[in-house]
Structure 1
């Protein structure tokens, strides 16, 4: 084993431990903001694994899309909503925790069996090399165009939903009696800036 292989093995171990610890923090911490930041750490660790696999474009896409877009969108949604509710204990909460642990253990066993049963031999296909970005772009706009567009629409829907939930916080608790009810979301009253009228008076 030379120095390069040793560095790769050590980096793989560090990234694996960091990813598993961050993933456990995401599901175990009660503070949702901390969970969102740890989720960004999970995405960054996965990007490091892609770098070890010589998949530079996938690693950059992981950082740009998941850390720079999806995770930031989650943080914006959390901070825009900013709902504070008192904790109410749930009856028989251990049943849900036990079911979650059973599902996680089953998924772990399934993935472990797939890893052990998969023949990890080197493929005989010629690697794309520097033309990998062109090949991926061709697949994005031909074979995977529909999933690519659906993902962008899904992210847009999540952003609009976060904004709507944030605006609901401004609705007063008591509604005026004489106000006509319409199927629109009421906003916080704002002071109108009469900039145009001031400019006309100055002229």
Structure 2
């Protein structure tokens, strides 16, 4: 995609502001559902930056995989689990904040140094210019980066299985849990259908 230099600069500024704003919303908003929705905004803005870099396949994969799959999975896990917990202030909170700030500043300084030290301008005869990004990515995925590619798929599968297990946990009445349920170290306590029906009939009566 060939755009004028002014259009590229304006587009980059808009996408950068959008990415930074949504990323700050992810970590600063108190409600986790709002943070998950803003995370989709971060992924979309990153996809726009990939388009400016002429990485069309990576931009499409960013939308399909991260926004369409990973972010939706996160939202489903949050909404299905619906776990409510009272806020308790942890001891040594000030030390944790200072340590987090030092680590974040160190990462920002490292990334800033890499940005300034990297030669971004490429000539048309440079070997870094790729005509077909799909072929180049396919060659690297199934040769040089095969193991990380497969590990990423296994991690996504583990996250999906964990979300399903957490979503299937039901609340068990305390009066019926000790008498009518049997739990082991390898199973999660669940409420049978008969107990759920009896509990609802007792509440109606």
TM-score, scaled to structure 1: 0.83
Q: Secondary structure at the residue paired with 1:143?
A: coil
Shift of 1:37: 0.9
Aligned length: 188
**Which residue number in structure 2 is paired with residue 190 of structure 1?**
193
Preserved contact between residue 183 and residue 189 of structure 2 (Cα < 8 Å): no
* Equivalent-residue separation in structure 2 for 1:98 and 1:180 (angstroms): 46
Shift of 1:181: 4.3
**Which residue number in structure 2 is paired with residue 166 of structure 1?**
167
Matches within 5 A, 1:76-115: 76-115=76-115
Q: Secondary structure at the residue paired with 1:99?
A: helix
**Which residue number in structure 1 is paired with residue 129 of structure 2?**
127
Is residue 53 from structure 1 mapped to residue 53 from structure 2 by the alignment?
Answer: yes
**Which residue number in structure 1 is paired with residue 68 of structure 2?**
68
Q: Secondary structure at the residue paired with 1:83?
A: coil
Q: 1:172 to 1:163 in 2, by over 3 A?
A: farther
Q: Secondary structure at the residue paired with 1:85?
A: coil
Per-residue displacement from partner, 1:15-67 (whole Å, max 9, x unpaired)? 00010011111111111111111111011000000111111111001111111
Shift of 1:180: 4.7
Structure 2 residue ranges without an equivalent (≥5) = 195-205
* Equivalent-residue separation in structure 2 for 1:17 and 1:173 (angstroms): 50
Structure 1 residue ranges without an equivalent (≥5) = 192-203
Is residue 32 from structure 1 mapped to residue 32 from structure 2 by the alignment?
Answer: yes
Per-residue displacement from partner, 1:45-101 (whole Å, max 9, x unpaired)? 000001111111110011111111111111111112110111122233222122111
RMSD (Å), alpha carbons: 2.1
TM-score, scaled to structure 2: 0.82
**Which residue number in structure 2 is paired with residue 143 of structure 1?**
144
**Which residue number in structure 2 is paired with residue 176 of structure 1?**
178
Where relative contact order (Cα < 8 A, 6+ residues apart) is larger, the structure is 1
Q: Which runs of 4+ in 1 moved over 6 A?
A: none
Q: 1:5 to 1:92 in 2, by over 3 A?
A: same
